[in-house]
A and B are shown apart, each in its own frame.
Chain A
């Protein structure tokens, strides 16, 4: 059974159907890309998965270790905390005035907060909390090393270069210990070298963590290189689905991206 099953997802904003009866699945250990021209409804799907929007129709079922979570019925913060869906944002949303390390510790808030016995143990400085904090710092350090930001650990997150901020946001999402990682245009604004590093990082996450990755991306070189499965949206509807080779050859996809002869003639 798939980790995430999305069935007949439909979202309307007034008269506009932003997402129209879209179904797809995301599997463990695989990278599923959602592509499509601007305004196709990709980010809306993400916002729905992470609880920022509620779908009008449809079911989003996340199967975590035999337990089923119906995402459309959960609050946004519970989707992240309990179902284990982590995301990054198209326009980076770090905590800019906090340090890199603090960003990664905030991501482990729920674990730490429980360990601090809702602050009490922490206030008294009990060892139970100190150990939990050490573990959290160790986890953060491990991720900092994996994204190559160990040296910047005590710098303000907002002062990092753009590419580093993108990688930090991914590290932060990974620190929540997710089952499903949703990356919203992680390569936007990166130069070719940084894009290649990013592709390597995502592949590394896929190889070493037992999670599913959902990816929205415009950079086709990244998408075609790392995706196992691609879902193509256009005007809110799914127009194609398959592996990179199939998508590249699909006439409907080419038409959506480049326009058709009839449209040009019209």
Chain B
């Protein structure tokens, strides 16, 4: 970019920064002896604005030299099956993690959280990434799954394995319920309605106290057992505890490791199911719907069925994850299902690269681990997190893994 233009852009950016910085940084409420007073910090403003000016100028000048943003790092040429290999390595790592020296209680708990988000991301990927339906209320299905497990387990004493499919079916039914009114909507309008739907579920759970316990939530949700053998130090008479069954020392870590493998298996199930669906007519119809709904109609595809199946299946996996969340926490309240959760799950899908299964894993790990690792930076944590996200979107605007693998190949160019 020629110098005058870069200068003009830098001045514009500096002006915007100045307008923002004067009220936000320039004035400060200070507690003095005589009560509250306003302090000014115009030196800070000056530093900030000049930093923006210089940064923007350098960026503008660099852009002229054939580099898209000065940031775009050229990816090394990867072998064609690199992503498969990488996925395999990740899978093996996840499989052995609890038994490596890394596998202490904190790490495994953290890994469980990451896996919950991976599963949610994979579930939402069906709706957003494949079918192209922008859903901002995905957390509603997570909540439906969690509450249905909690209520069935508390009130009827049903086991986790019985409740899991019920939670999935109920969530899928809610998915269809949401799907019907939004059949004609697309894009922004769809996003608004799904956002409202997500909030509705949360507000109902918050206010219907007799049913859901209101803001106090549901407590003492039964913890999972190893197919009927509980993870307790002193089992009730007549029961065999997990450690007794295998003749091990009792350790609280055993339950956590079991939970870890449970969510690992559930997440893998979601993944293999989705991968398989992509190669079936319905999966291709989802993608076709994302690409062009009018063309789908002209080819005789019933868009209603295609959309509802995407909503239902995406919701079902959200429900599974919810049931797992409830049994892991032992306590749920509407607090856990606010809009921020939906936003994080959507961010995982978008950041990972719409429709990419591997991208979801990387993005989920990133979005959950970075704030965790940055705990030492205390109050600057979220700023650094936001900065990292901006950098990634500048570097890879299509998402981390933008490559789309065809669902079928004819091969052998004859």
Q: B304's closest neighbor in chain A, by CB? A: A77
B24 at interface (Cβ–Cβ under 8 A)? no
In the complex, are the beta carbons of A119 and B298 less than 8 A apart?
Answer: no
**B297 contact set on A, CB distance < 8 A:** 51-52, 76-77, 80
B294 on the A face (CB < 8 A):
yes
CB distance from A236 to the nearest CB of B (A): 23
Q: Does A62 contact B (CB under 8 A)?
A: no
Q: Please classify how large the interface on chain B is, using the bins under 10, 10 to 19, 20 to 34, 35 or more.
A: 20 to 34
Q: How many residues of A contact B (CB 8 A)?
A: 45
Q: Which residues of B contact A93 (CB under 8 A)?
A: 292, 294-295, 298
Looking at the complex, which one of A81, A102, A116, A119 makes contact with B407 (CB distance below 8 Å)?
A102
B340 at the interface (CB under 8 A from A): no
Chain B residue numbers with a CB within 8 Å of A16 are none
Tell whether, in the assembled complex, residue B407 and residue A154 are in contact, meaning their CB atoms are under 8 Å apart.
no
How many Cβ-Cβ contacts under 8 Å join chain A to chain B? 123
Is the beta-carbon distance between A153 and B300 smaller than 8 angstroms?
Answer: no
Closest B residue to A177 by CB, please name it. B300
Q: How far is the CB of B402 from chain A (nearest CB, A)?
A: 10
Q: Is B291 touching A154 in the complex (CB atoms < 8 A)?
A: no
- Given A81-B300, A98-B288, A109-B301, A154 and B409 touching (CB < 8 A)? yes
B299's contact among A101, A106, A116, by CB below 8 Å, is which?
A106
State the Cβ distance, A231 to closest chain B Cβ, in Å: 22
Cross-chain contact B300 with A80 (CB below 8 angstroms): yes
Interchain CB contact (< 8 A) of B302 among A77, A116, A154: A77
User: Is the pair A150, B298 in contact by a Cβ cutoff of 8 Å?
Assistant: no
Asked if A109 and B285 make an inter-chain contact with CB atoms under 8 angstroms apart, the answer reads yes
A123 CB within 8 Å of chain B: yes
Known: A50-B298, A86-B299, A89-B295. Is A119-B282 also a contact (CB below 8 A)? yes
In the assembled complex, 14 residue pairs joining A and B whose CB atoms fall closer than 8 Å, in A order, are A76-B298, A77-B296, A77-B300, A77-B302, A80-B298, A81-B302, A82-B300, A97-B404, A99-B406, A101-B408, A101-B410, A106-B296, A107-B299, A176-B299
Binding site for A on B (CB under 8 A): 276-277, 279-282, 284-285, 287-288, 291-292, 294-303, 404, 406-411, 413-414
User: Which A residues contact B (CB, under 8 angstroms)?
Assistant: 50-52, 76-82, 86-87, 89, 93-99, 101-102, 105-107, 109-110, 112-113, 116, 118-119, 122-123, 129, 137, 141, 144, 150-151, 153-154, 172-173, 176
Given contacts A95-B291, A96-B292, A154-B410, 17 further A-B contacts (CB under 8 A): A50-B298, A79-B300, A80-B297, A80-B299, A80-B300, A93-B294, A99-B408, A102-B406, A106-B285, A110-B301, A113-B281, A123-B277, A144-B410, A150-B413, A153-B409, A154-B406, A154-B409
